Structure 1
Amino acid sequence: MAPRLSSGEREEIACGLAAGESMNSIGRRLARQPSTISREIAQHSFHRHAVTFDRPEMTYRAGPAHRSAMTARARPRTARLARSGSLRTRVLQLLRKRFSPQQITAQLRAEHPDQPEMQVSHETIYQAIYLQSRGSLRTDLRRQVALRTGRARRRTRPIAGAATRSNRDWVGLNVSQRPAEADDRAVPGHWEGDLVIGKNGTSAVATLVERSTRYLMLVALPDGRLCHDVAARLSTAMRRLPAQLLRSLTWDQGSEMAAHATFTLATDCPVFFCDPHSPWQRGSNENTNGLLRQYYPKSVTNFRTVTQRQLDTVARQLNERPRMTLAWNTPAERLTELLGDATTG
Structure 2
Amino acid sequence: MSLARRQFMEMLAQGWTLRAACTALGIARATGQRWKNGYVVRSEGGTVKVVPPLEPLALRPISSRFLSEEERIQIADLASNGAGPTAIGAVLGRSPSTISRELRRNEHPTGQYRPFHAHSLAATRRRRVRPLKLAARPTLDAFVRSKLEQRWSPQQISRALKTAHPNDPTMQLATESIYVAIYRPSSGLLRGPAPSPLRTGRDHRRAHTRQIRAGRRFAQPMLSVHERGFDPADRTVAGHWEGDLIVGPHNRSAIGTLVERQTRYVRLLHLPAHNSSALHAALVRLLNELPPPLRRTLTWDQGTEMAKHLEITADTGTKIYFCDAASPWQRGSNENTNGLLRQYFPKSTNLAVHTPHDLARVESELNRRPRITLGDRTPADLFELLLASGNHPALQ
Query: TM-score normalised to the size of structure 1?
Result: 0.50
TM-score w.r.t. the length of structure 2 is 0.44
Q: Which has the larger radius of gyration?
A: 2
Higher relative contact order (CA 8 A, sep 6+): 1
